[in-house]
Amino acid sequence: MTADKIEERTTPLLEDLVSTGTLHGADEVEITFQAATEFSVDVRLGDIENLIEAGSTGVSIKVILDKRTAVATSSDLDRSTLEDLVIKAVQRAAQGSSDEYAGLPAGVPDPVDPETLELHDDEITRLDTETKISLARETEAIALRDPRITNSHGASFETRKIHSRLINSHGFSRSYTETYCSLGVGLQAGDTDDLVEGYWGSARRHFEDLETPESVAQKAVARTVRQLRPRKIKTQKVPVLFEPEMTGWLMGFLFSCVSGTAVYNRATFLLGKLGQKIADERVSVYDDGLLKRGLGSSPFDAEGVPCRKTSVIERGVLTNYLCNTYAARKLERSSTGNASGGGVAPSNFHLAAGSTAPADMIRSIEKGMILIRVLGHGLNPITGDLSRGAFGLWVEKGEILFPVSEITISGNLGAVLQEIVAVGNDLEFNRSVCGPSLLIGEMTVAGL
Amino acid sequence: MTTQDTAPLTFEDHFGLSPELITRTLDAALSRGGEFSEIYLEYKLFTFIRMEEGIIKETAESVSRGAGIRVISGGRTGYAYTNRLDAAQLKHGAMTAASISRGSGRSSARLSPSFPPHTYYPVQENPYAAPLPSKISLVESAYGSALEHDPCIRIVKASYADQIQHITIANSEGLMRSEVRPLVKLTCVVIAENKSGRREAGYFGGGGRVGMEYFSQSLTPQEIGRSAAREAVHLLDAAEAPAGEMPVVLAPGHSGVLIHEAVGHLLEADFNRKKTSIFWDKMGRRIGSPQVNIFDDPTIPFFRGSYNMDDEGTLPRKTPLILEGKVTGLLQDRLSAGIMQAELTGHGRRQDYTCIPIPRMSNSYIDAGDYSPEEILKSVQRGFYAHLFQGGQVEDSGKFTFSVSSGFLIENGRLAAPVKQATLIGSNIDILNKISMVGSDLRFGLQTGTCGKEGQSAPVTDGCPTLKIERMTVGGQT
């Protein structure tokens, strides 16, 4: 049974669950349903390693009673299991605490027509198994043709189709369908005792937008072999060029610092900084939930609030925190349509493209490093401190000289945002949290 | 509820499946050839309570039930899962998993149901079955103790989570084993703020495969709250960490993350079978200081990483990974052990029924050595003392990092100024050779850790005595 058929069949049950909750005394009830079909194949050294195919369903329940919240989830669609969960949730809510900010959003405007966002692609559903396997196989085979590649972690092709419906006791009942596909390969170069690792993957909503096996393989090879024969460097402060994937994690870190949840919990160094200049004026950051075909786009969020484009940093000035309904009430702001699974999540959260070509950025570096990969966690939203293991390319007089490894980069996000001296023109929405190349005036690179 | 009460549970109670239907499913999975088929049935119940801003913000409950069907054919794995456990869905899953195989079918062996002979978690009061108010009072107690600890404490978040996981595994070799795993966790996150507006966070928690008695007998919620608060207050006075190469002393307990990252992952059999791990050609060879002995032991009673059987039904055993600096063993699952013709060690784990089992760590640790912690500290003129950790990461080349959230400078053999936030980076064999002193004070880190591999999370613990590393790169800012 296809996901949308299951959804169609389940809708009356979901409506009944809302009534069950109300009947047992809940003031508000919200039911979310998802049906997903997934496929993934891993090919390694030419042969299939894993092939996974599955369909799954899930129901999330939220009830509010006297401003007390209880939630429940189930993978089981059995009516009595679900009714029991709703009734128990109402009982549990009674044992919780009253919270004046709790509750579903009221009077939400209509969301955009999901079709205008082009979130699903029927071609993905029509791909046959052999085609999917051969995409992975071909990608790896092209990569392995390069004599410098000594081993493979395998290539993977994945597809997913998800059908979601949200129903609540305020009469909201809407659904949408989304698809996703990705192709990637992980490689090794060098001998066992001198290994370097590299990966490239492409992810899109529509199959026609996905990078070809050639493109994925070539990027993975280039990203691997450029790290061969690395050197260690002395500890120093130098300009650091973030490649787009590195700007991606920096944006992920920034998101955790502008999330409304972090703000009301005083868990971000950007607390109380709205309206202040927190970054170089070249920096503008947006969260765009309505980006056509965007990996993070959807017509409405987990509470039914329409998604939208929100400016987070405008020419260096912090303009907004991203909120779900709860965080918005706490901060006396409005929801930005970022509710997700009880918390706040980014949609397409990105640093807007600038005008500098990455090659020009490299040429402008007298002595510094291109940051190409990081390892480890070391991010603290409360202070903005960041410290991560790093791999880079050393640059002197505008030329890439050699790769460096076993180093760390460290700094503070607040300082890093202020010290951005160039923003690249190479923004691509390969992930939902992303950005172009960035040149940072100075960061600490620790080595010998 | 004791484990004796839960042991008689079978697939029929929770999954509504007859042995005949299971056999039919295993047969269908082998109908296109393949040498092994398996069905993994899981029924999991979960409770969660979150307290913030002085109130219980949310309680949650979750039910998850499903089956994963696997076929192994040569080195290929076919996998399908479903959360609808009826004959038609199981047959469809079995045929989907079978699609990786090309050959003639055969039937599976007759099932002989059994339970694992040992229980490593003989709990008295099962957390899942405990009444909600008693769980809420644990959370309130941790919350209150953190808040009262110091006037600088501005924000406290306390949360409680428990789950009970019922598993039945049946395979084409006739194995059929069931077990029930409890798991509980009480954690506290605290933010302290001083007069100048500086904010720092502290974290602490406890739990494991334990009963509610743990919170009165082993680690009280008050201790959890106070420890988190102490850490946050301590960091308010911490300076920036140093940057560069220097001697590093690792505190006992939490530093086990070093062993987990630097050694454990790269001795998981899959990375060695595929020759992507730097260790694949080093079995039996010395790769570290002779003082280094490293084990992974899924049988430590009540530990978060323990299990009575792994997620393929194999009985686990304590596995030596490094003995006197030499590589001696790998963590095996069925697929890798079959291809490598090695013995099973009981380390095939999976996050849930939607996932293929892979070799994983459980409770890994570096064993105690001869030096007292004082001797170790005294031997360092100037260096870095790593005290608490946020986690780490490793890649197959042996490059690894771990993030220190709180540490100290060492000056003239003593702990000096507290410092915050630094990443340590190294190459594993290089660092293992630079371990110059192993302490006698083996301890384990918090019973709250989760390890991620290939998108699957698994509860783990790690342990370590005080260790001295002659030189390592510390990535602070000054």
Nearest-CA neighbor of B436 among B396, B363, B397, B383? B383
Q: Which two tokens stand for residue B264?
A: 């454990």
Q: Are residues A37 and A183 in the same domain?
A: yes
Chain B's closest residue to A64, CA to CA, is B58
Asked if residue A178 and residue A88 are part of one domain, the reply reads yes
Same domain, A90 and A176: yes
Tell me the CB-side half-sphere exposure of residue A353, using CA atoms within 13 A: 9
Residue with tokens 């260690």: A232
**Local structure of residue A286 (DSSP, 8 states):** E
Residue ending a domain, among A293, A320, A351, is A351
CA dist A6 and B120 (Å) reads 42
Nearest CA distance, A339 vs chain B (angstrom): 16
The pLDDT score that the predictor gives to residue B18 is 87
% of chain A residues with pLDDT over 70? 99
User: Do the beta carbons of residue A102 and residue A68 sit within 8 Å?
Assistant: yes
ipTM score assigned to the predicted complex: 0.91
pLDDT in tens, B63-122: 999 999 999 998 899 999 998 889 999 999 999 999 988 888 888 888 988 899 999 999
**Tens digit of each residue's pLDDT (9 = 90 or more) over B213-230:** 999 999 999 999 999 999
Residue B357 · residue B350 · CB < 8 Å: yes
| Residue from the list A50, A53, A389 with its beta carbon closest to the beta carbon of B401 | A389
Q: pLDDT digit string (tens) for B153-180?
A: 999 999 999 999 999 999 999 999 999 9
Question: Does some domain include residue A136?
Answer: yes
Chain B environment of A56 (Cβ under 8 Å): 66, 81-83, 354
- The highest-confidence range among A103-107, A317-321, B451-455, by mean pLDDT, is A317-321
Question: Is A319 inside any structural domain?
Answer: yes
Average pLDDT over every residue of B442-451: 94
Closest CA of chain A from B392, distance in Å: 5
Distance CA A300, CA A398 (A): 46
Q: Do A96 and B56 touch (CB under 8 A)?
A: yes
Query: What predicted TM-score, i.e. pTM, was given to this entire model?
Result: 0.93
Distances (CA, A) of B357 to B78, B95, B119, B139, B328: 12, 19, 21, 34, 23
CB contact under 8 A, B62 and A77: no
Nearest to A375 among B84, B399, B473 (CB): B399
What value does the mean pLDDT take over residues B306-327? Answer: 97
pLDDT at A192: 83
Q: Poorest-confidence range of A97-101, A291-295, B295-299?
A: A97-101
Q: Does the structure show a pLDDT above 60 at B428?
A: yes
pLDDT at B280 over 50: yes
B190 closest CA partner among B203, B208, B177: B203
**What is the per-residue pLDDT for B4?**
36
A341, A330: one domain: yes
Q: Mark out the alpha helices in A315-365 (DSSP H runs).
A: 325-330, 358-363
> A375, B393: Cβ pair inside 8 Å?
yes
> What angle (nearest 5°) sits at the alpha carbon of residue A233, between those of residues A227 and A236?
125
**Do the beta carbons of residue A20 and residue A86 sit within 8 Å?**
yes
Does residue B5 have a pLDDT over 70? no
pLDDT, tens only, A161-184: 999 999 999 999 999 999 999 999
Tokens 């219980």 map to which residue? Answer: B56
Chain A nearest-CA residue for B473? A447
Chain B contacts of A372, Cβ < 8 Å? none
- Residue of B259, B281, B264 lying closest to B431 (CA atoms): B259
User: Does residue A209 belong to any structural domain of this protein?
Assistant: yes
What domains are there in chain B, each with its CATH number? 3-235 (3.30.2290.10), 240-475 (no CATH)
- Asked if the structure places residue A215 within a domain, the reply is yes
Inform me whether the pLDDT recorded for A436 exceeds 80. yes
Q: Are residues A375 and A418 in the same domain?
A: yes
Tokens 């978060």 sit on residue: B304
Range with lowest mean pLDDT among A112-121, B145-154, B415-424: B415-424
The pLDDT-based confidence of B14 (bands split at 50, 70, 90) is low
Where do we find the tokens 């949200």?
A166
Query: Quick one: A79 and A172 in the same domain?
Result: yes
Query: Looking at chain B, which residue has its C-alpha nearest residue A447?
Result: B244
* Chain A CB contacts of B426 below 8 Å: 406
Q: Are residues A292 and A278 in the same domain?
A: yes
Nearest CA in chain B to A235: B244
Chain A residues lying within 8 Å of B398, measured CB to CB: 195
Q: Which of A326, A351, A376 is the last residue of a domain?
A: A351
Burial of A145 (0-12, 13-18, 19+ CB in 10 A): exposed
Minimum Cα–Cα distance from A87: chain B residue: B61
Whether residue A278 contacts residue A317, with contact meaning beta carbons closer than 8 Å, is answered with yes
Render pLDDT for A234-257 as a digit per residue (tens, 0 to 9): 999 999 999 999 999 999 999 999
In this structure, are residues A57 and A35 in contact, taking their beta carbons and an 8 Å threshold? yes
Residues of B in contact with A99 (CB under 8 A): 55, 57
Highest mean pLDDT among B132-146, B265-279, B412-426: B132-146
B197 or B121, which is more confident: B121
Task: State the smallest CA–CA distance between residue A406 and chain B in angstroms.
Answer: 6
Closest-CA distance of chain A to residue B443, Å = 24
> Which among B15, B1, B6, B62 has a CA at the least distance from the CA of B169?
B15
Residue A230 inside a domain? The answer is no
pLDDT 10s digits, A108-124: 999 999 999 999 999 99
For residues B427-456, give the mean pLDDT: 93
Q: What is the mean pLDDT of chain B?
A: 92
CA distance B154 to B236: 13
* Per-residue model confidence (pLDDT) at position B3: 33
Identify the domain containing residue A121 by its residue range. Answer: 3-225
A208 & A264 share domain: no
* CB pair distance less than 8 Å for A387 and B58: no
Nearest CA in chain B to A326: B57
Other CB atoms closer than 10 Å to residue B117's CB: what's the count?
A: 8
For residue A2, pLDDT over 80 is answered with no
Tens of pLDDT, residues A302-327:
999 999 999 999 999 999 999 999 99
Closest residue to A196, CB basis, from B99, B397, B478: B397
Q: Cβ atoms within 10 A of the Cβ of A18, count?
A: 24
Nearest to A51 among B79, B405, B427 (CB): B79
**A258 and A274 both lie in a single domain:** yes
| Claim to verify: residue A29 and residue A166 sit in the same structural domain | yes
Residue A231 lies in a domain: no
Residue A210 and residue A267 in one domain: no
Same domain as A390, residue A334: no
Each residue's pLDDT tens digit, A15-69: 999 999 999 999 999 999 999 999 999 999 999 999 999 988 999 999 999 999 9
Average pLDDT over residues B263-276: 93
pLDDT at residue number B11: 56
Percent of chain B residues past pLDDT 90, beyond the cut: 78
Question: At which of A312, A329, A351 does a domain end?
Answer: A351
| Number of domains within chain A | 3
* pLDDT for B2 beyond 60: no
* Between A315 and B393, residue with greater pLDDT: A315
pLDDT score at B1: 29
pLDDT band with cut points at 50, 70 and 90 for residue A4 = low
Predicted local confidence at residue B421, as pLDDT:
81
Residue A276 burial by CB count (10 A; 0-12/13-18/19+): exposed, middle or buried? exposed
Q: What is the pLDDT of residue B7?
A: 43
Collect all residues of chain A within an 8 Å Cβ-Cβ radius of residue B390: 377-378
CB-CB neighbors (< 8 A) of A70 in chain B = 58-61
* pLDDT grade for B8, boundaries at 50, 70 and 90: very low
The CATH code of the domain that includes A32 is 3.30.2290.10
